[in-house]
A and B are shown apart, each in its own frame.
Chain A
């Protein structure tokens, strides 16, 4: 039986959306969960209304991190936007670069060379691994298991070494540009990548033993924070959160892009849709990305151009139009809606981050009736990321 929040025992909402409660009665308590809390994602905070230790109401406050990115981009030329787009999402910045570059390519009529498409796919999968590693550390940290965060940070550091080798930067790479990528793979990259992947797989076995077979983690995550499959469409739930509810939503398969149609894999789904299942789906997703990287490295072409011929980007004007480019990032559907007006500057860029729906509407809905002690684990299990909300 799927979990359904029951508001019947609680006070009703007033017309303005606020709860009709009297805090002075002593029956209810307002409590701010975050922003300085180890179990919160980024700088968000949740304003909780409690009755005993049970949550009656919650409001997400997204915080004060990066503001006005979309507006800033309207004041920059298309190529100058790259240092901004990659900063929308720290764990996998390349995803923003790909979506934005692909949108610009489509509007400007630029064809990306085949070799660059393989390299882009490789980078996106490496970014997904990085993001999942951060998630696994955070999820276990929310339940007090700090050691797993140390292991995953070590592996992420090795992945960042590969990124540095490939792009020259560790976090913000700006490697994917309209027309292709900046360069091909360095010599010996495949071998060093394979060594890193082996190290990752070995550590993941430890993570499986220590986290997923852990009695404390199981007791605190199984059956907690269930997302009903019926909520997926109304609340715009995508990615691993939807797949853990048994719905095989994966943009890479539903609307394939880059070279994903040429790779062999299947959407990973779970059944129980609780915190444990979401962690398990992400764990399996991570190992699937390892497999995809191996497939890409084995089959990618090593000859040919990596960048199409572009007009002078300093005087670049893109014809009027609008488009939306989406892709599957580690948290779900990510997309860029780009509108151009024929000038050298974008008219409007809107970033559709999966956290936007997961961290606000969905969290506020699913947190009702939960216990205060489960909030941290529950919030991390949605794998939200504040800069996607307050771009």
Chain B
């Protein structure tokens, strides 16, 4: 994994390599260089499989972390690319040209985190939520409990009947 990192460093300005396991590492990539790094990894380093694309909300640092996890099946190694983007202006370039399946991930991230991916197909179409007007629900400052209390009312408790008494009333309503 270190040799891939060294090769990438010759062209790109990357963050530190974090080796989680011998077959899994993470690198922080500048926002502007992500597409070039992804294409390089796919075409020259054998990372042809986009495993997932997701976001982490680091609200205390006012940043979103986007994680692009790539896999090289031949070498049996995974590489996670981390891109930090500002939380108050979350805009990112789309990678649906590189992997068409990324459009689905990007659609979900727009809905759940409010991260906009420029020119991603169908990015504004609702994926799971419809008619949502609150802040994106996967952000850390979205309070699920408060939302549930405000949106839904508590159901009254059901009346519990004693089966013996109930049947007696049903069968002998006049009490005989």
Chain A interface (Cβ < 8 Å from any Cβ of B): 16-17, 62, 67-68, 70-72, 74-75, 106, 233-236, 238, 249, 254-255, 321-324, 326, 333, 335, 337, 339, 347-348, 350, 352, 356-357, 360-362, 365, 390
Smallest CB gap from B26: residue in A: A322
Contact with A along B1-41 (1 / 0, CB 8 A): 00000000000000000001101101000000000000000
Name which of B84-92, B99-107, B157-165 contacts chain A.
B99-107
- Please indicate the chain B residues that have their CB under 8 angstroms from the CB of A335 in the complex: 51-52
Distance in Å: Cβ of A61 to nearest Cβ of chain B? 9
Q: Given A72-B144, A352-B52: A236 and B78 within 8 A (CB)?
A: no
Residue from B26, B51, B55, B128 within 8 A of A352 (CB atoms): B51
Q: Decide: A337 near B67, CB < 8 A? Known: A71-B144, A324-B24, A361-B100.
A: yes
The answer, among B55, B73, B80, B101, for a CB contact under 8 Å with A362, is B101
Q: Quick check: A236 and B99 within 8 Å, CB to CB?
A: yes
Whether the pair A70, B138 counts as a contact (CB closer than 8 A) is: yes
Q: Which residues of B contact A350 (CB under 8 A)?
A: 52, 54, 67
Chain B, 45-71, CB within 8 A of any chain A CB: 48-52, 54-57, 67, 69
Please, how many angstroms separate the alpha-carbon atoms of A16 and B80 in the complex?
30
Q: Once bound together, how far apart are the Cα atoms of A356 and B127, in whole Å?
A: 12
Residues from chain A with a CB closer than 8 A to the CB of B24 are: 323-324
Q: How many B residues touch the partner, as a band?
A: 35 or more
Q: Compute how far the CA of A234 lies from the CA of B56 in the bound complex, rounded to whole angstroms.
A: 24
Kindly list the 10 A-B residue pairs having the minimum CB-CB distance in the complex, ordered from nearest: A350-B54, A17-B121, A361-B101, A17-B122, A352-B52, A233-B48, A348-B56, A236-B101, A360-B104, A255-B76
* Residues on the B chain within 8 Å of A321, using CB: 20
What's the dominant secondary structure at chain A's contact region?
A: mixed
Contact of A348 among B57, B137, B144 (CB under 8 A): B57
Q: A356, B121: Cβ atoms under 8 Å? A: no
The answer to whether B50 touches A236, judged by C-beta atoms less than 8 angstroms apart, is yes
Complex CA–CA separation, A93 to B137 (angstroms): 25
Taking a contact as CB atoms under 8 Å apart, the answer to whether B100 and A333 are in contact is no
Q: Do residues B144 and A68 form an inter-chain contact, with CB atoms below 8 A?
A: yes
In the assembled complex, the CB of A172 is this many whole angstroms from the nearest CB of chain B, namely: 22
Assembly CA distance A235 to B103 (angstroms) = 10
Q: List 30 A-B contacts (CB under 8 A).
A: A16-B122, A16-B124, A17-B125, A67-B128, A71-B137, A71-B138, A75-B144, A75-B145, A106-B21, A233-B49, A233-B99, A236-B50, A254-B76, A255-B23, A255-B76, A323-B21, A323-B24, A324-B51, A324-B52, A324-B78, A333-B51, A337-B67, A339-B56, A350-B52, A350-B67, A352-B52, A357-B101, A361-B100, A365-B100, A390-B128
1/0 per residue, CB under 8 A from A, across B135-158: the answer is 001101010110000000000000
- Beta-carbon nearest neighbor of A13 in chain B: B121
